[in-house]
Structure 1
Amino acid sequence: MSMQNELNQIVKETIAPLFKENGFKKKGKNFAKIFPDFAWTVNIQSSKWNTKNEVEFLFNTGIYCDKVYTTLSEMKSPIFPLELYSMLRLRISDIKNIRENWYKISDNTDIEEIKKQVESDIVNVIIPYFEQYKTVEDIINFIEIMEEQGEWECPHHLTLLYHYYGYPEKAQKRMKEVYLTSKFDTQKEYIKELSTKIGINVN
Structure 2
Amino acid sequence: MQQMLKEIIKETIAPLYKAKGYKKRGNNFAKDCGEFALTVNIQSSRWNTADEVEFTINTGIFTDKLFGTFYDFAPPQFPTEVNSVLRQRITELKNIPDHWYKLSSDTNIEELKKQIEADIETVIFSYFERFNSIDDVIKEMEQYEEQGKYETPHFLTILYHAYGYSDKAKKRIKESYKRAKYDSQKEYTKELAERLGIS
TM range (shorter): over 0.9
Q: Which residue of 1 aligns with 2:142?
A: 144
1:177: Cα distance to partner?
Answer: 2.1
Q: Is the 8 A contact 1:69 1:86 kept in 2?
A: no
Partner of 2:4: 6
1:128 paired with 2:126, answer yes
Unaligned runs of 5+ in 2: none
Q: What does 1:9-48 correspond to in 2, within 5 Å?
A: 9-48=7-46
> Once the 2 structures are TM-superposed, how far is the Cα of residue 155 of structure 1 from its aligned partner?
1.3
1:170 maps onto 2:148 in alignment: no
1:194 Cα deviation after fit: 0.5
Deviation at 1:78, TM superposition (A): 0.2
- CA change 1:81–1:96 in 2 (3 A) is same
* Alpha-carbon shift at residue 23 of structure 1 (Å): 1.3
Structure 2 CA distance for aligned equivalents of residues 133 and 69 of structure 1: 21
Spell out structure 1 runs of 4+ moving beyond 3 A: none
By how many angstroms is 1:141 displaced? 0.8
Distance (whole Å) between structure 2 residues aligned to residue 115 and residue 30 of structure 1: 18
Normalization by structure 1: what TM-score?
A: 0.93
Aligned pairs, how many? 199
Partners of 2:171 and 2:51 in 1: CA distance:
56
> 2:70 aligns to what SS in structure 1?
helix
Deviation at 1:192, TM superposition (A): 0.9
Cα drift, residue 171 of structure 1: 1.1
Return the TM-score normalized by structure 2. Answer: 0.95
1:123 to partner: Cα distance: 0.2
1:81 to 79, 82, 86: 79
> Identity, % of aligned pairs?
55
Structure 2 CA distance, aligned partners of 1:134 and 1:69? 22
Provide the secondary structure at the position in 2 that maps to 1:23.
coil
Alignment partner, residue 114 of structure 2? 116
Does the CA-based 8 Å contact 1:62-1:89 persist in structure 2?
Answer: yes
The aligned amino acid for 1:198 is L
How far apart, in 1, do the equivalents of 2:147 and 2:89 lie? 19
Separation in 2 of the partners of 1:179 and 1:140?
Answer: 21
CA RMSD of aligned residues (A): 1.2
